Amino acid sequence: MGMGNACYVYPGAPATPGIVTPNVIFSRGIYMNGSMRFDDGNSVTIWGFTDLAAGQGQADGMGGGSFPSPAMRVTEGQIVHTKLTVGMMWMHTIHHHGIEPSQENDGVGHLSQDVTNGTYTYQWRPKNAGTYFYHCHTNTPLHAEMGMYGGLIVDPKPNPADPVGTKRAFANGPIYDVEAIWAADEIDPAWHTLEWAAGTCGGDVGLNNLNPKYFIITGVDGKTSALTNPGVAVNMVKGQTLLVRYICAGFHPQKIDFGGLTASVVASDGRPLPTPWQTGSIEAHSAERFDCIFKPTITGTWTVTISFYHWRTGAVMGTAKTRITVS
């Protein structure tokens, strides 16, 4: 079976069973010709999702877009529609990683459909506040490596006893003032020349062997740029509380070291921990998330280092760094 040069894909864009009026709608298109430029001047092709409602890109996949893809942010208990529109030239899905909806809305091609030539509306209602992410689940090794992912945050329902604007990690969880989302990923440029269905019909296209050359945090090169990039590096004032949402977005294991700061890890994979875990570093593997609270009591600058370990040898392949500055 196949479609064009794709095999073991399950094209479709059916109606959503049991569809109702949602509280929140995300309209996602795709882009297949974006790019990311690294600190050494080289660049690679990036694919991703666009926000059609914001006028980003087109459903036909041409052009570029933001990397990572636009984040989704919802409140627990809301009925959410994620509308994915894909042209006839490609197939993609959206899997809301860690969200556990019905089979039809889980975004796994062989158990529902790979969206093509139309729109599918994923309907879900998050029960648990926390840190998640969304990614394409079609030819996943390649599509996720190419950049087809974005952050997904579920906030708790506001506590009526809290002052307006209070931000909590989860219901009755810690209050925070400053938030950072660190999606740590690795890039193997050799994979970024492949076409969307590469390998699906057989043949060795190297998808068993990821040899990254670049190490990034939330779409920013971790060699130098992420040390100061305002979308990654944290600047806060003593007395504030920081919530770092760390997402292991690559495929190899990682270790994040907070450079001397102690994290109070309050949740993982969208679930509060029974008791917070005090640690200076975390070992993580692909797709794990950790919600880390920091309450620095002194001013200073701390360098956070994420090491990327080869999944077989355990050797450090590279690092990505950013900073927490407390003034």
Partner 1 sequence: MERRSFIKLGGASLASAVLGSGLLSWVPRSEAATISKTFYITGGTLTMPDGVGVYFKGFSNSATGLNVPAASIICQEGDTLSITVVNKLAVTHNFVIGGLKAGDPPLASTGDILSGASKTLTYTIPTGKAGSYLFYDNKTSYNVFLGLHGGLAIMPAGKSNQLYSGSPTFVKQQFWIFNDIDPALNSAVQRNTVVPTTFTPRYFTINGLTSLPPGAVGHGDPTRDALYDTRTRLAGFVGDRTLVRMLSAGMCSHAVHAHGNHFEWLTDRGTVRSSVWKKDTLYLRNKLGKIDAIFPFEAPPDAYPPTTHGHFPMHLHDEMSQTAGGGMYQFGSMTEIEFL
Q: Which residues bind partner 1 (CB under 8 A)?
A: 1, 7-8, 10, 18, 20, 79, 95-103, 105-106, 108, 110-111, 123-128, 139-142, 144-145, 198-210, 248, 251-253, 268-271, 273-275, 283-288, 309, 311-314
What whole-number distance in Å separates Cα of residue 170 and Cα of residue 154?
A: 8
**Closest distance of CB 272 from partner 1, Å:** 9
SS3 26: strand
Query: Please, which residue, 162 or 283, has the CB nearer to partner 1?
Result: 283
Burial of 212 (0-12, 13-18, 19+ CB in 10 A): buried
Q: Which is nearer to partner 1, 8 or 302 (CB)?
A: 8
CB-nearer residue toward partner 1: 230 or 314: 314
Strand pairing category for 281-284 and 289-294:
unpaired
Q: How far is the CB of 2 from partner 1 (least distance, A)?
A: 8
Collapsing DSSP to helix, strand or coil, 88 comes out as coil
Give 225-232 contacts, CB < 8 A, sequence gap 24+.
225/39, 226/320, 226/321, 226/322, 227/303, 227/321, 227/322, 227/323, 228/323, 229/322, 232/180, 232/182, 232/322
**Rounded-to-integer distance, Cα 84 and Cα 50, Å:** 10
What type of residue is 200? T
Cα(66)–Cα(167) distance, rounded to whole angstroms? 26
Task: Tell me which residue of 57, 27, 32 sits closest to 46, measured CA to CA.
Answer: 32
Q: Of 141 and 158, which has the nearer Cβ to partner 1?
A: 141
Cα dihedral sign, 54-23-168-278:
negative
Q: Which is nearer to partner 1, 63 or 101 (CB)?
A: 101
Could you tell me which of 84, 73, 36, 47 has the C-alpha nearest to residue 217? 36
Which of 134, 133, 127, 135 shows the shortest CA–CA distance to 170?
127
| Pick 57 or 98: Cβ nearer partner 1 | 98
Rounded CA separation 206/146 (Å): 14
* d(C-alpha 19, C-alpha 114), whole Å: 19
Q: How far apart are CA 146 and CA 137, in angstroms?
A: 12
